[in-house]
Amino acid sequence: MAGGTFLLYFYMNFPMPRYFSRFSAAILLAFFLLETTARADDPNPSQYDFAPKIYKGRVIAPAMSYLGADWLERSDRETTEQPEKVLDTLRIAPGSVVADIGAGTGYYSLRLAKRVGPQGRVLATDIQPEMLSRLRVNLKKAGLMNVEPILCTPTDAKLPAGQLDLALMVDVYHELARPEETLAQVRRALKPDGRLVLIEYRGEDPAVPIKPEHKMTLRQIREEVEPSGFQVQHVFDFLPRQHIVVFVTRGGGNAQ
């Protein structure tokens, strides 16, 4: 905003050349101020920041844009990703409080809502308001009242402390712009016996038809997540393309 203040000062104090009216200067100034404000508040830095970011030797993928949101609801997802089998495996108790972090249009949030039932809650977070708008439409259609859409930011996961039984990230972790910060916030949000579950496309398998930066190896997942106070409880590899990695908190009382 310092640049904007300077422009305003210049505009107020110096005579303008004939061909540059005060009106044009005002338009330019308004544009400049609007643009800098938009950048500062933008919840999705990938929209503007195209420089690849590296974390522990891995290229962080840019967040998948809401413009491609139809892909999240593609029909073959049921067979390739088997969401109901995944949730059966995770054994989510009715009444649980679950966060669907990076919920997108709610492919998992809606299913989670049915699992936790009316006594439970699903906190569906995303950094893109457009994703959450589509999620709200999907919730309304399904008549589900126990999902709370939450607009978060890459630096603030917007999760309440000590309340979560489960934090789920499906195809999200590799997009986190600040993985370490987000993990610390998730750790704080979990109950002592809470679980963190990551589902990621298998980076070890070149046959998985996904860009390399949108996949992760099991080794990368462990090396990045474990130092943040987690330990692996289970790895499920029954899905054709994805790892399912279940973490518990270290020192949280539920480690096996």
- Site residues (CB under 6 A) for ligand SAM? 63-64, 72, 101-104, 107-108, 125-128, 131, 152, 154, 170-172, 175-177, 182
Given a contact cutoff of 8 angstroms between Cβ atoms, the answer to whether 95 and 119 are in contact is: yes
User: Least distance from C-beta 20 to ligand SAM, angstroms?
Assistant: 41
Considering beta carbons, is residue 127 or 221 the nearer one to ligand SAM? Answer: 127
Nearest to 127 by CA among 166, 176, 59: 176
Considering beta carbons, is residue 31 or 71 the nearer one to ligand SAM?
71
The DSSP output letter for 123 is E
- Rounded to an integer, what distance in angstroms lies between the CA atom of residue 41 and that of residue 92? 36
Q: Are 63 and 44 in contact (CB under 8 A)?
A: yes
Q: How far is the CB of 14 from ligand SAM (least distance, A)?
A: 44
d(CA 158, CA 56): 25
Query: Hey, what are 80's tokens?
Result: 């390739």
Closest separation between CB of residue 71 and ligand SAM, Å?
8
Q: Find residue 234's DSSP bridge partners.
A: 246
CB nearer to ligand SAM: pick between 186 and 248:
186
Smaller CB separation from ligand SAM, 198 or 248: 198
DSSP assigned state of 37? H
Instruction: Give me the least distance between CB of 166 and ligand SAM, in Å please.
Output: 14
Q: Which is nearer to ligand SAM, 127 or 196 (CB)?
A: 127
Minimum distance of ligand SAM from residue 240's CB (angstroms): 16
